[in-house]
Amino acid sequence: MAGLARHVDPDEIIKTLHDHPGEAHKRHIHSSRSVSQTTPYSSRYATQQEISKFKIPNEGAPADAVHQMLKDELDLDGRPNLNLASFVGTYMEREAEALMIENISKNMSDADEYPAMMQMHSRCVSIISHLWGVQKGERAIGTATTGSSEAIHLGGLAMKRRWQEKRRAEGKDTSNPNIIMGANAQVALEKFARYFEVEARILPVSEKSLYRLDPDLVKENIDENTIGVFVILGSTYTGHYEPVEEISKILDEFENKTGHDIPIHVDAASGGFIAPFTHAKAGNHKWNFELPRVKSINTSGHKFGLVYAGVGWIIWRDESYLPKHLVFELHYLGGTEESYTLNFSRPGAQIIAQYFNLIHLGFSGYRSIMENCMANARLLSKALEASGWYICVSDIHRKKGEHRFHGKDEVVFGKEDETSADYNAGLPVVAFRLSDTFKKDYPHVKQESVSTLLRVKQYIIPNYPLPPNEDKIEILRVVVRESMSLDLLDRLISDIFAVTQTLMETDAVDLSAFQPGASSIEKQHQSKGHDSQNKHKAKRPMSHGVHRSVC
């Protein structure tokens, strides 16, 4: 009969085994706190005392020892280049990194102290606004932000204020604003609505709508209290572009019938640096300032803008669309500047790095990188479907206008001279799931086991449900970034197939070992929430609360 097992607390064991100087004389043990500092590991924190986790220690420790211990602990993190879950860039050229280190202490709020940096900021705004089709005679205005979340809040707030100003001028009620978005929206869009007291009309997505905002539902849900529509150029779930031009036409028709002018804010967190450069653009449809209905656009410089985390951008097509009372005049450190951000102090190094990339790579450089990302994503998609084990929910590997999988026998690998224009437009994202045939043949295999076993090989590939209304379908997702070389892609494909083969040859009892374990003590201290095994314990289901996709 198997022996009984009980919980073991490693922290308690370590505490018991520590050398306590106050008791040492009773056990005739000699202990010294002044260990010779020959290496970082000779610190008392390395062997005799545990480094403090949740309370500040009474005494400090040598910098080299703390550095080494934290470095060792951080080795437990995933490798950034194998974090295939993230849209955020993990690679920059050495010259760009050098510029960031040289300017890491510069603060974007100190405009008068760092005029050269602020000039680069202005140039970035000008370059990006022209990439997004600002029209002749318009005076585009914009700013760097700490990311797309802040930028989305600013874009939404400007729409709310413009709506309020117009309603007040007409003597109408301003107490019930609403905003439209799809259920595939990243949580920042819903945060805007909750934080700034706007009703979020979150419209369900479906396979019919390609898991994105459904234009038919937009038509049914807009009214005189709609401050705007959030349209996403690149869903974080599946990489699909939402139909900006189609929704713009619906809003044009609504204005012609009712006189209510509803603007569009394009959340181009990922697509803002892809659509301008790829041959596919947005699928031969307009999405940017070429559409008069689009008043503001945001993007993340730290995604496909190819900068390390910490920079986003928002641009309004003309300064008239940024309400004056949202702009603050600051008298600070001897200078005067105008500010319209939610943050004040923030790093300036990323802005410098963004300008470096724009000048260094140029249009052709960005195009080459984005087309390469798209080609690699197509290759991965086709390889997965050719196996017969997987089906892709994303469709940037299918010919234009084709959105359905018809069987592995129809998978055709590309020609040497093809570009993204030969396929559906979208992000270089591969969202895939086990095929129905595979599930029938191997019902004991859970899809999350694929993610778990790939993590053993150091890949981070999430497995998570599609948005509410389609959340019975779980997908694995790979974001193909600049740093996905053909060699790494070849290894990834081989490893996915090897892991799948292992699962096929493993019985249900053994598979139980591959399931994720309980939450760590760090998770309990760090944030509220549950892992995938305990998601049923959440206070609110996905359809009623904030949900997010990995990004």
Q: How confident is the model at residue 62 (pLDDT cuts 50, 70, 90)?
A: confident
More confident of the two residues 333 and 409: 409
Q: Which CATH number fits domain 98-354: 3.40.980.10, 3.40.50.300, 3.40.640.10, 2.40.10.340?
A: 3.40.640.10
Compute the average pLDDT of residues 249-262: 98
Compute the average pLDDT of residues 425-453: 95
The crossing angle, in degrees rounded to 10, of helices 349-386 and 115-131 is 40
* pLDDT for the residue numbered 360: 98
Round to whole Å and give the CA distance between 457 and 184.
30
Q: What is the DSSP letter of 215?
A: H
pLDDT at 525 over 60: no
Q: Give the number of other Cβ atoms within 10 Å of residue 424's Cβ.
A: 21
Q: What is the dihedral of CA 244, 247, 253, 257, to 10 degrees?
A: -130
- The mean of the pLDDT values for the chain is 87
In the CATH hierarchy, which fold is given to the domain comprising 363-411+418-502? Aspartate Aminotransferase, domain 1 (3.90.1150)
- Tell the residue number behind the tokens 């314990």, with chain if given: 537
* pLDDT for the residue numbered 379: 95
DSSP assignment of 188-210 equals HHHHHHHHTT-EEEEE---TTTT
Q: What is the DSSP letter of 3?
A: P
The boundaries of every CATH 3.90.1150.160 domain in the chain are 363-411+418-502
The boundaries of every CATH 3.40.640.10 domain in the chain are 98-354
Round to whole Å and give the CA distance between 120 and 373.
28
Round to whole Å and give the CA distance between 520 and 525.
9
Distances (CA, A) of 75 to 44, 86, 91, 308, 525: 21, 18, 18, 19, 20
CB-based contacts of 54, cutoff 8 Å, min separation 6:
525
Q: How confident is the model at residue 521 (pLDDT cuts 50, 70, 90)?
A: very low
Alpha carbon of residue 135 to chain centroid: 30
Write down the H helix ranges in 25-171. Answer: 44-47, 63-74, 94-102, 115-131, 148-169
Compute the average pLDDT of residues 40-52: 69
Task: Return the closest-CA partner of residue 65 out of 49, 84, 81.
Answer: 49
Pair 351, 308: CB distance under 8 Å: no
Pair 271, 131: CB distance under 8 Å: no
CB-side exposure of 439: number of CA atoms within 13 Å?
A: 11
* pLDDT for the residue numbered 113: 86
Helix (H) or strand (E) holding 403: none
Tokens of residue 372, six digits: 């390469």
Secondary structure of 227-239 in HEC code, one letter for each residue: EEEEEEECCCCCC
pLDDT at 522 over 50: no
Tokens of residue 429, six digits: 């994202």
Percentage above 70 pLDDT, the chain? 82
More confident of the two residues 531 and 172: 172
More confident of the two residues 333 and 472: 472
Round to whole Å and give the CA distance between 503 and 445.
7
Task: Return the closest-CA partner of residue 211 out of 393, 432, 417.
Answer: 393
Round to whole Å and give the CA distance between 426 and 540.
32
3-class secondary-structure state, position 283: coil
CB-based contacts of 444, cutoff 8 Å, min separation 6:
507, 508, 511
CB-side exposure of 332: number of CA atoms within 13 Å?
A: 16
- Tell the residue number behind the tokens 């899809």, with chain if given: 447
Q: What is the DSSP letter of 428?
A: S
More confident of the two residues 263 and 28: 263
pLDDT at 82 over 50: yes
Question: Model confidence over 267-297: pLDDT tens digits?
Answer: 999 999 999 999 999 998 999 999 999 999 9
Question: Model confidence over 532-543: pLDDT tens digits?
Answer: 556 556 665 555
